[in-house]
Structure 1
Amino acid sequence: MNLLLNLVWLILGGFIVVIAYLLGGILLCITIIGIPFGIQCFKLAGLALMPFGAEIREKEPPGGPVAVIMNVIWIILPGLELAAFHLVMAALFAITIIGLPIAAQHLKMTRLALLPFGFEARDRVI
């Protein structure tokens, strides 16, 4: 079921989200200062590629004060805009009953788009 939902996700715009996060990650990794932020973009691209069946967990060990500082910088630069984008997309997909699962995935991505440092997306182990 997750495979089918992931295919529908990619067809209904998820592929564009993946490409955007990958391009952002590549551009950020060009500079040395942007590498940690580029890695977070790649993490978001991985989640955007197959969001169904993934869950967001806190990393072991947690990032601590460095993760807090990096999250603050992330929020100031692209984080608020990315979170707002995912919230708007979730609202648009939630209008129809068929779009509710996709809206739920956009809400899941909102959490990681707002505060990516110290968290990771993992596949669920059944």
Structure 2
Amino acid sequence: MKRSPLQKGFTLLELIVVIVILAVIAVVAAPRFLSIADDAREATSRALFDNFRAGAEIYQGACLARGGDVTELRGQDTSDFNIDGIYSNFSGSCYPVRNSNAGVRRDINNARGCYELFQDIVNSDHFEDVNFGSGGGFVA
């Protein structure tokens, strides 16, 4: 059968082959693209935690330079607070200070306070909502 010069286009078989090839590519590539959002969330969380840890270390260093104290209680736990079974062995005055939502200043004097502050930061709706009050303390 000869094609006339006026008939242009693809045959049904060619279209089916192209659709099958696109379906195979989609099945193979879709999981990779879907995991990108999870990877981005994990990277954001890691960066936030690293920044939080760096800020706490800077604060602690400045506090120690001003004469504050951090005591390591070897073999003792300062409280019942633990993260994944790891207890805090530190006590003292060189922990950050935060403000509550009501603007009440609360000193963070143990690892539980640092953990609660980090949870407040993570659980805020938007990171832009986290700000520092006029006294320099954290306000969620």
Per the normalisation by structure 2, the TM-score is: 0.27
Per the normalisation by structure 1, the TM-score is: 0.29
**Which structure has the bigger radius of gyration?**
2
